[in-house]
Amino acid sequence: MSTLLIILAGVVILGAALLTVTRRNPVRAALCMLLALAGVGALMLGLRSPFLAAMQVLLYGGAIMVLFTFVIMLLTLREEEMGPEPSDGSKLGAACMSLLTLSVLWFGISRRGGASYEAPRLGEDFGSAKHFATFLYTDYVVAFELVTVLVLAAVAGVIVLARAPHRTSLERTKLTAEHPEEHA
């Protein structure tokens, strides 16, 4: 049952991820990626991590993909603003590099042995929010606090980057002279 779910989710994830990296239209790529992320959520459910599955859907499907879609809609890219299609040579090179990565990882995975999910005493609450929080707020509380600092730094960085470009007073005077009704 669990293996079947994992195989099914794997097919969906790999297919959707392949579509994501090959679509030209960014909206279609974002929708395919949403499917891939939902598949990862289902996979996490199959691996007995319901809390992480919920976080996957909330954080990735909810927050990150909405941000992507928002930016895509905000920019409304025209064809020439997306740049030309990558050349066949660069696609071939990228495919070679990714196959090399895959073969190295595959080699490592195939050489390890003895892994199984036949846990003799797997607690009923393994992966639940309560069990998870017990560890997050005791053993890993320092990491948790450090992540809050990271989020604060990211917020500050985004505000600095998103601010309108600073105009000198001379440019502002010029703009006011050209379009007096807008800058009144």
Partner 1 sequence: MNGLTTPDLVQMLAAGLFSIGVFGVLSRRNLLIVLMSVEIMLNAVNVSLVGFSREMAHLPQGAAEGGQVLVLMTMAVAACEVALGLSILIALFRHVRSVDIDTPRATLLRN
Nearer to partner 1, 59 or 175 (CB): 59
Give 48's DSSP letter. Answer: T
- Using CA atoms, how far residue 58 sits from 35, 122, 128, 129, 139, in Å, is 14, 26, 16, 14, 24
Nearer to partner 1, 165 or 180 (CB): 165
CB of 19 to partner 1, least distance (A): 10
CB burial class (10 A; 0-12, 13-18, 19+) of residue 53?
buried
CB of 182 to partner 1, least distance (A): 18
CB of 172 to partner 1, least distance (A): 18
- Residue appearing with tokens 């790999």: 14
Nearer to partner 1, 107 or 184 (CB): 107
CB of 167 to partner 1, least distance (A): 13
Nearer to partner 1, 94 or 174 (CB): 94
CB of 179 to partner 1, least distance (A): 19
- Residue appearing with tokens 């036949």: 118
Cβ count near 39 (within 10 Å): 21
Please tell me the distance from the alpha carbon of residue 37 to that of residue 35, in angstroms, as a whole number.
Answer: 5
By the 8 A CB rule, do 16 and 32 touch? yes
Please tell me the distance from the alpha carbon of residue 74 to that of residue 83, in angstroms, as a whole number.
Answer: 18
- ∠ CA 62-65-69, nearest 5°, is 125
CB of 13 to partner 1, least distance (A): 6
Nearer to partner 1, 83 or 180 (CB): 83
Nearer to partner 1, 79 or 181 (CB): 79
